[in-house]
Chain A
Amino acid sequence: SQKIEQNSEALNIQEGKTATLTCNYTNYSPAYLQWYRQDPGRGPVFLLLIRENEKEKRKERLKVTFDTTLKQSLFHITASQPADSATYLCALGGGGSYIPTFGRGTSLIVHP
């Protein structure tokens, strides 16, 4: 069955450092991958979408890579700030459905 894996342990980093979050998947050939930010008690907020034929995408301090051979996406936040603290979800879509399937998310905590 399709499986999306995100590290369940929180990632703790110091302000100013680069945060790197991982999304691995199995039994899936996604046409695209998305990253969302979710704050406690709130709905997810869309950040970035990367398609299967794209290796990397950037938006301000965010960078996403997509390796369909490794079946992995990396999500980077450079010059991280305490305000970046949140849970980050990856979602995969395609393979017959455009509706994405979500991972559990990884909590990021940026310490001042």
Chain B
Amino acid sequence: DTEVTQTPKHLVMGMTNKKSLKCEQHMGHRAMYWYKQKAKKPPELMFVYSYEKLSINESVPSRFSPECPNSSLLNLHLHALQPEDSALYLCASSQDRRGTGRHSNQPQHFGDGTRLSIL
């Protein structure tokens, strides 16, 4: 079992539905991430939260809306998705490197992912 918990594990939704992916960690990490991974491809970064504030948005379409209610939770709200959005969505967390002035030497810890299918 991983220390980062993602729910649901599988999600099938229509293009007009609204759903949310949830991610929770209790390791005291202050950086949290959303990745999208297509089959046989590496993960692609979508969003980064640092101390509950959005620090990086990799030009993700607005039909994906992230939210960080507190330091342990990260949500990804989905609305009007397209078939090409079908993928594995991975959440990760890590110690924040703020103030160190150097690269992060802390590994990101990933959840098991949510397999999303858009009909």
* A and B: interacting chains: no
Interface residues of B (CB under 8 A from A): none
Residues of A within 8 A of B (CB): none
